[in-house]
Structure 1
């Protein structure tokens, strides 16, 4: 009996110590906050990252669309004559794209490619096309066009699965914008750091497709943004 009583004494002492600890509710909210803070922080930062990524991608898409529209409208000439385009016209359009991108640093983090798509023949009964010229700008020179290069012929169109084409005796301006996105917080959960947006517009007015260097004049000796 003495041995049993001796072994029960520590157990009783432990119970006396644990019972008030379990009944004490002080610090419960602090512990709950400490447990929930990492989850709340992850959700908040993840939401901010996804929002920033979606906004950036939308802006890049708008740059591609606006540049294609500007490239389709550029040219000089009267209403009665086919309009001519120059290297200055192309350079101005590319500069405008950089201004539109604003603080995205488009030409430091990306590359913009304009392609001139024209039919192989007129009438184009075979529905085959060619990329007559391309102009590029941006520091990411390692990125070549994913949709064809200047000089490509007998292609069925340009632009991946949903191919764009050109009307007879006309051209289509196809724009590809490659951009390397910089996450707010670089983690394994961050979205893809590269994005590519495309857009295409048919040339608005009748354009001279034969003069100059494959349809592009350079009478002012302007820099040529070749790819």
Structure 2
């Protein structure tokens, strides 16, 4: 009996039939963690790429829209701005940008208006789209970071007519990060776009914390634009002013 039991113990010591299963059980958590981390980083990188492209496309589109008026001058209309913002909204439906973020389009101009004595660089007007930033909790993250100061923004009426009352705000240093300021050429303008997006990780906060993805883009206005105002002929369009926090253009909620 004893020898039989010893024989069984010896055979068990040399038995390797479950080795692969044991190795898999030990390595599975490590493989899953590495796979999840890689997937999360890939998704974050892809989200950054998408947001940067949305900003570039909007700046590019806004730099070339308008309708030809007299003498080859292009007039920019509220309907044109709504069109390009709507294009950004549709383009970004996959990540629900206008629900989980905010888009700010600014016209940085270096021109002399009838009420100026010389050229002045100013943010003449801004148009916005997106639901984020309405509350005090996230206002600092999603509203424009590149106005002249945290408390100075162009009013919703800025640029709506050609009067000094709605001239916007002076921005002599330009717009952008302190070491990467964008300035408009003399007698021209720049479409400056800022996109702020709430990134929601695939696996909660396990690998990457929720964060705001922020990108900017700028394009020089491509045509001989009339910088005096944004036109709004009949039938008038509802302006997507920055006092509105909606996911649709012109204040639309859908």
| TM-score, structure 2 normalization | 0.73
Contact 2:108/2:183, CA 8 A, preserved across alignment: yes
- Indicate the larger mover: 195-204 or 74-83: 74-83
Per the alignment, residue 155 of structure 1 pairs with 172
Larger Rg: 1
Indicate yes or no: 2:225 matched with 1:226.
no
Alignment partners' CA distance in 1, 2:77 and 2:205 = 45
Indicate yes or no: 2:208 matched with 1:190.
yes
Greater share of residues in helix: 1
Please report how far the alpha carbon of residue 98 of structure 1 lies from its aligned counterpart in structure 2 after TM superposition.
1.1
**Cα offsets for 1:83-135 (capped at 9, x unmatched):** 1111111000000011111311111111110001012659xxx9962111000
Per the alignment, residue 95 of structure 1 pairs with 86
Per the alignment, residue 49 of structure 2 pairs with 58
Contact 1:83/1:208, CA 8 A, preserved across alignment: yes
Alignment partners' CA distance in 1, 2:107 and 2:189 = 7
Please report how far the alpha carbon of residue 226 of structure 1 lies from its aligned counterpart in structure 2 after TM superposition.
1.0
Contact 2:123/2:171, CA 8 A, preserved across alignment: no
| TM-score, structure 1 normalization | 0.82
Alignment partners' CA distance in 1, 2:120 and 2:12 = 82
Unaligned runs of 5+ residues in structure 1 are 1-14
- Indicate the larger mover: 113-122 or 102-111: 113-122
Contact 1:53/1:191, CA 8 A, preserved across alignment: no
Per the alignment, residue 131 of structure 1 pairs with 123
Alignment partners' CA distance in 1, 2:213 and 2:108 = 23
Contact 1:60/1:197, CA 8 A, preserved across alignment: yes
Unaligned runs of 5+ residues in structure 2 are 1-5, 134-138, 148-152, 155-167, 243-254
Describe the SS at the equivalent of 2:219. Answer: strand
Contact 2:76/2:230, CA 8 A, preserved across alignment: yes
Q: Which of 27, 33, 38 is 1:42 aligned to?
A: 33
- Say how many residue pairs are matched: 206
Q: Which of 129, 137, 140 is 2:132 aligned to?
A: 140
Alignment partners' CA distance in 2, 1:152 and 1:18 = 87
Alignment partners' CA distance in 1, 2:237 and 2:112 = 30
Alignment partners' CA distance in 1, 2:66 and 2:53 = 22
Describe the SS at the equivalent of 1:188. Answer: coil
Contact 1:127/1:156, CA 8 A, preserved across alignment: no
